[in-house]
């Protein structure tokens, strides 16, 4: 079973409160999503392998550690996942970015795929799937399956807010995938929105309705 890591650092909790607040406008919402994503990147990359290299400081030769050439890929689920990309790239500037376009059918809540463009070598990369919301889990399960069908074997999922139901769905369908979340919420409403959640992440990021 994959692990579920809840990133309950005070900075993340503080920023998440204002992300949730309906009075936070799109500009601030975007900035906060970017900042929380950057803070989460710190933990999501904790297990990256290191290697020693020889360097010279101004006063001595020494061995020091650098990341061991791990190839990373970020895969935002369109649209709302886009809001998390810049924060991640701030800390992982060499990562490649693939895009998977999925929207949730408003009647069935099932994901519908409409776009996909991935780095060619995804089977060699550690992929981090980005989406602010994990509600029923349908979109994440489909996106991860899609990446696996294209050859990916090393995948993590990163969400801002997850419902327990979504966590269970992803863990059941993809037990090899570790999930990183900033908050876990109580339940879904009759429209499969997370309660209390933050509303529609895509609409709040992009100012649509
Ligand atoms: C939202 C969200 C997730 C999905 C979560 O996207 O960004 O992708 O719903 O719901 P699920 O876990 O029940 O699948 P949405 O379909 O609203 O598309 P958008 O990002 O284009 O607004
Ligand atoms: N998608 C969202 O944007 N918000 C939710 O609460 C559920 C799905």
Question: How much of the chain exceeds pLDDT 70, in percent?
Answer: 100
User: 104-141, pLDDT tens digit by residue?
Assistant: 898 898 899 999 999 999 999 999 999 999 999 999 99
pLDDT at residue number 1: 80
Q: Is 104 known to be catalytic?
A: yes
User: 55-85, pLDDT tens digit by residue?
Assistant: 999 999 999 999 997 799 999 999 999 999 9
For ligand 2, atom 2, name the residue with the nearest CA: 200
Mutation choice for ligand 2 from 192, 204, 208, 209, CB with most ligand atoms inside 8 A: 192
Ligand 1 pocket, 76 CB below 6 A?
no
pLDDT at residue number 200: 97
Strand blocks (E) in the chain: 4-6, 50-56, 61-67, 72-78, 96-97, 99-104, 111-117, 126-130, 133-134, 154-163, 178-185, 187-188, 194-195
Residue positions forming the annotated binding site: 79, 104, 131-139, 194, 199-201
Q: Does 49 have pLDDT greater than 80? A: yes
Ligand 2 pocket, 135 CB below 6 A?
yes
The mean per-residue pLDDT over the stretch 3-10 comes to: 96
* ipTM, 2 dp: 0.97
Token pair belonging to 155? 């995948």
pLDDT at residue number 43: 95
pLDDT at residue number 100: 97
Residue positions forming the annotated binding site for uracil: 194, 199-201
pLDDT at residue number 133: 98
Ligand 1 pocket, 197 CB below 6 A?
no
Return d(Cα 165, Cα 57) in angstroms, integer. 51
Model confidence at 186, pLDDT cuts 50, 70, 90, reads confident
CB-based contact 169:110 (threshold 8 Å): no
Distance 90 CA to ligand 2 centre (A): 26
pLDDT at residue number 69: 79
Q: Does 94 have pLDDT greater than 80? A: yes
pLDDT at residue number 62: 98
Question: How much of the chain exceeds pLDDT 90, in percent?
Answer: 92
Return d(Cα 30, Cα 42) in angstroms, integer. 19
3-state secondary structure of 86: helix
CB-based contact 129:77 (threshold 8 Å): yes
Nearest listed ligand to the Cα of residue 206: 1
Q: Which of 94, 167, 155 is nearest to 130 (CA)?
A: 155
pLDDT at residue number 183: 97
Q: Does 2 have pLDDT greater than 90? A: no
Mention every residue, 6+ apart, whose C-beta is less than 8 A from residue 86: 34, 37
pLDDT at residue number 96: 97
Neighbours of 66 (CB within 10 A): 10
Model confidence at 91, pLDDT cuts 50, 70, 90, reads very high
Q: Which of 163, 196, 197 is nearest to 179 (CA)?
A: 163
Return d(Cα 76, Cα 88) in angstroms, integer. 11
């Amino acid at each position: 079973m994959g692990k579920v890591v809840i990133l309950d650092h005070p900075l993340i909790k503080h920023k998440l409160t204002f992300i949730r607040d309906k009075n936070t406008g799109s500009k601030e919402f975007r900035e906060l999503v970017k900042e929380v994503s950057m803070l989460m990147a710190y933990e999501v990359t904790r297990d990256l392998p290191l290697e020693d290299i020889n360097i010279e400081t101004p006063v001595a030769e020494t061995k020091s550690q650098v990341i061991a050439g791990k190839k990373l890929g970020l895969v935002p689920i369109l649209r709302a996942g886009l809001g998390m990309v810049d924060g991640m790239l701030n800390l992982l500037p060499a990562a490649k970015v693939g895009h998977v376009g999925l929207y949730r059918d408003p009647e069935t809540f099932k994901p519908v795929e409409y776009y996909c463009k991935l780095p060619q070598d995804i089977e060699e990369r550690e992929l981090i799937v980005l989406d602010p919301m994990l509600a029923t889990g349908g979109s994440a399960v489909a996106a991860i399956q899609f990446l696996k069908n294209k050859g990916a074997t090393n995948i993590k999922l990163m969400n801002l807010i997850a419902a327990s139901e979504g966590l269970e769905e992803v863990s059941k369908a993809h037990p090899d995938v570790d999930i990183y979340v900033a908050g876990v919420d109580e339940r879904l409403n009759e429209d499969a929105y997370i309660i209390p959640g933050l509303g529609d992440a895509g609409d709040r990021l992009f100012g649509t309705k």
